[in-house]
Structure 1
Amino acid sequence: MSRTATEVSRSLVVERPGQHRLTYGAAPEPGAGEALVRVAAAGLCMSDREVYDGRRDAAYVRYPVVPGHEWSGTVAAVGAGVDPALVGRKAVAEGFRACGSCERCRSGETSLCTDGYAETGFTEPGGFADHVIVPARLLHPLPDDADLRAAALLEPAAVVAAAVRAGRPRPGERIAVVGAGTLGLLAVQLLAAAEPAELVVIDPRTARAAQARRFDATAVCTPEQAEQLHGRFDLVVETAGAPATAASSCLLARRGGRVVLTGMFTPGAAGIDPVHLSLSQLEIRSIFGAPSSAWAYAVRAFGLGLLDPAPLITHEYPLERFAEAVALVGAGDPGTGKVLLRP
């Protein structure tokens, strides 16, 4: 099912680090097994800033590239072998182009596919464009009344969903979330649904952490204040990726507690004390992206109203103002939340 051949489609191409241009061409046609999605909104995160600045590991980016791994839209056309009923449906799509047949994929760990790394927005054209083509099997249709602006945050929500599933929160537990960025505040929403006795958010930016209260956090504190809470929590979900947060998160957990690390750490980050680890019998999990099951979890929570990413959005720009948008990401302004591009 095709659109008019004369439709023009724009794409924001990062040719090489620090150099980008807006291109114009005919809207692409989906091939067999593919879907063409008209992008409604696309989020920027630190990974996109790293791509633009040239700081992303060379194994995880391929220039020139159209970035954009956080996006939502409406299916505009489908290729051969794809259900035509998808056309017109609001949707998001998984980013990892997992093979589906290796041992890790067949075990449900699609974010750890061993058939080589491929991901929308890093090695494959992403959502900083009017249209994006994805394998139709990766689509997650949304309710007809879904807010596509908010749905652009379902990619980070899926990462958080993977962390929550790994952490296994139980009613009445004491839970801490380290970091009050996008991941942290999404985590608060999903963890609040488990009805914890305490849900404490830890972040040096008191203005950002305070926003967690509207998502039912019971308390907020700075890292310095959190030193008085060492050994208190049944579950600690780390989302900041700061140099010291992996180690400090383990100190917050009670003996026999659980720690889930979702932050992307850089070389030189403080290591976890092995003596404390062995004496405390901690269960530690790390998260890399989101498998298909976590995407389904996040989309379901979004559809039920348990997850509302919209309040996290603070800035929106057209594609033409990409340079202004990307400059905001990681600039340190506590008033900057999620930045969107709106093709």
Structure 2
Amino acid sequence: MTAPHGRAVLVERPGVHRLVERPRPAPGPGEVLVRVFAAGICLSDREVYEGRRAPGYVRYPVVPGHEWSGTVEAVGAGVARDLVGRPCVAEGFRCCGTCERCRSGETSLCTAGYAETGFTEPGAFADRLVVPARLLHLLPERADLRAAALLEPAAVVAAAVRAGRPRPGERTAVVGAGTLGLLATQWLAASSPAALAVIEPRAARAERARDFGATLVLDPANATAAHGEFDLVVETAGAPTTAASACLLARRGGRVVLTGMFAEGATGIDPVHLSLNQLELRSVFGASSAAWADAVRAFATGLLDPAPLVTHEFPLDRFTEALALVGGGDPTVGKVLLRP
């Protein structure tokens, strides 16, 4: 009997990909096989395709896809069989679970070496993928799996919220109104801020932030008057100037959390401003297990709803068309999904 086959987008090397057929993956001990429902495309996937991801943070050939949702289809040895049929997402970082950082709960700082689904391990631009069962987060039985594909960026936002510690009545700002920025706005709105500003140069994106809870939208060119006004600033854009500008927005003694992925040559943060204003500065790369749990809980209870962010859906064989939309500058493009 011929083994069942599936399909996957394989990036062989920068700029070169194929839609391949392959035997259905088999979960090994401690692993689960997931049928992918949807997988989101983000700018880091475009970086992988174009060869712009930093060395050591990608391994070619690779099946990309780190934002996804699906259903457990099979389990390997040592994994509870009642997981089969359960809707789920899973953490991307393949943390070791035993180093000092992991044992301290800082799983995104694992010292065993970088490994992540969709970058160094096969990802979800496929109809199925295999992940360690210990990284699964189960969803409610009737969860919206289309929206759940955005739980990876939601977990990054959860990590930022954990680091920023918003308190009711504070003045809060979000820099950027992309996927991370709008999710951060929606989450921070739930903390009852006195004001929630979103700084975004694209007018259509900025106005959309109001639907996610923003009370004020500002163009960066007009944000100078707001310098020093905010207790908490969450930066999500990763643009060349936004790390520095986020620090200028914070009040003396304020808190700044950087979540954007910056490229070489970005504007540096003024150490004099940082020290004289006694700012608390944190950065986020990925999400810990605790942040994932926060995101899944917020989604399950309805506090966080990523569904309105999805604007486009494509099958695997239209990967090139889907990828071209991501980062293309069209303000009407939100989250783009691949639907195997």
Are 1:229 and 2:226 counterparts? yes
- Residue identity over aligned pairs, in percent, reads 75
Give the aligned partner of residue 32 of structure 1: 29
Give the aligned partner of residue 149 of structure 1: 146
| Residue from 182, 193, 197 that aligns with 1:196 | 193
Q: CA 1:249–1:31 in structure 2 vs 1: closer, same or farther (change >3 Å)? A: same
**Local SS of the residue matching 1:210:** helix
| Residue from 123, 128, 138 that aligns with 2:125 | 128
Kept in 2, the 8 Å contact 1:231–1:253? The answer is yes
Residue type of the partner of 1:202? I
Displacement of 1:9: 1.1
Question: 2:221, 2:228 → 1: CA distance?
Answer: 15
Are 1:79 and 2:111 counterparts? no
Residue type of the partner of 2:36? V
Give the aligned partner of residue 63 of structure 1: 60
Provide TM-score, normalisation by structure 2: 0.99
Displacement of 1:25: 2.1
Question: 1:277, 1:58 → 2: CA distance?
Answer: 30
Give the aligned partner of residue 9 of structure 1: 6
Question: 2:266, 2:25 → 1: CA distance?
Answer: 43
**Local SS of the residue matching 1:315:** strand
Question: 1:5, 1:78 → 2: CA distance?
Answer: 21
Residue type of the partner of 1:10? R
Residue type of the partner of 1:260? V
Displacement of 1:39: 0.1
Displacement of 1:209: 1.3
Residue type of the partner of 2:175? V
Kept in 2, the 8 Å contact 1:5–1:27? The answer is no
Question: 2:8, 2:212 → 1: CA distance?
Answer: 35
Give the aligned partner of residue 301 of structure 1: 298
- After TM superposition, the structure 1 = structure 2 runs for residues 77-226 of structure 1, keeping only pairs within 5 Å, are 77-226=74-223
**Local SS of the residue matching 1:100:** coil
Residue type of the partner of 1:38? R
Displacement of 1:235: 0.2
- After TM superposition, the structure 1 = structure 2 runs for residues 224-263 of structure 1, keeping only pairs within 5 Å, are 224-263=221-260
* Residue deviations 1:237-270 (CA, integer Å, cap 9, x gap): 0000001001100000000000000001111111
Question: 1:5, 1:310 → 2: CA distance?
Answer: 39
Residue type of the partner of 1:174? R
Displacement of 1:6: 3.6
Give the aligned partner of residue 331 of structure 1: 328
Question: 2:145, 2:80 → 1: CA distance?
Answer: 22
Provide TM-score, normalisation by structure 1: 0.98
Displacement of 1:221: 1.1
Give the aligned partner of residue 48 of structure 1: 45
Range 149-158 or range 209-218, more displaced: 209-218
Residue type of the partner of 2:321? E
Q: CA 1:5–1:134 in structure 2 vs 1: closer, same or farther (change >3 Å)? A: farther
Are 1:272 and 2:269 counterparts? yes
**Local SS of the residue matching 1:127:** coil
Give the aligned partner of residue 290 of structure 1: 287
Question: 2:2, 2:330 → 1: CA distance?
Answer: 43
Displacement of 1:315: 0.8
Displacement of 1:5: 6.7
* Residue deviations 1:110-155 (CA, integer Å, cap 9, x gap): 1111101100000000000000100000000000111001000000
Q: Which runs of 4+ in 1 moved over 3 A?
A: none
Range 212-221 or range 316-325, more displaced: 212-221
Kept in 2, the 8 Å contact 1:12–1:22? The answer is yes
**Local SS of the residue matching 2:56:** helix
Kept in 2, the 8 Å contact 1:5–1:26? The answer is no
Residue type of the partner of 1:141? L
Residue type of the partner of 2:59? R
Question: 2:72, 2:103 → 1: CA distance?
Answer: 27
Kept in 2, the 8 Å contact 1:13–1:66? The answer is yes
Question: 1:314, 1:324 → 2: CA distance?
Answer: 14
Question: 2:320, 2:303 → 1: CA distance?
Answer: 34
**Local SS of the residue matching 1:126:** coil
**Local SS of the residue matching 1:67:** coil
Residue type of the partner of 1:201? V
Question: 2:54, 2:228 → 1: CA distance?
Answer: 35
* Residue deviations 1:166-201 (CA, integer Å, cap 9, x gap): 000000000000000000000011101101010000
5+ residue gaps, structure 1: none
Question: 1:216, 1:181 → 2: CA distance?
Answer: 14
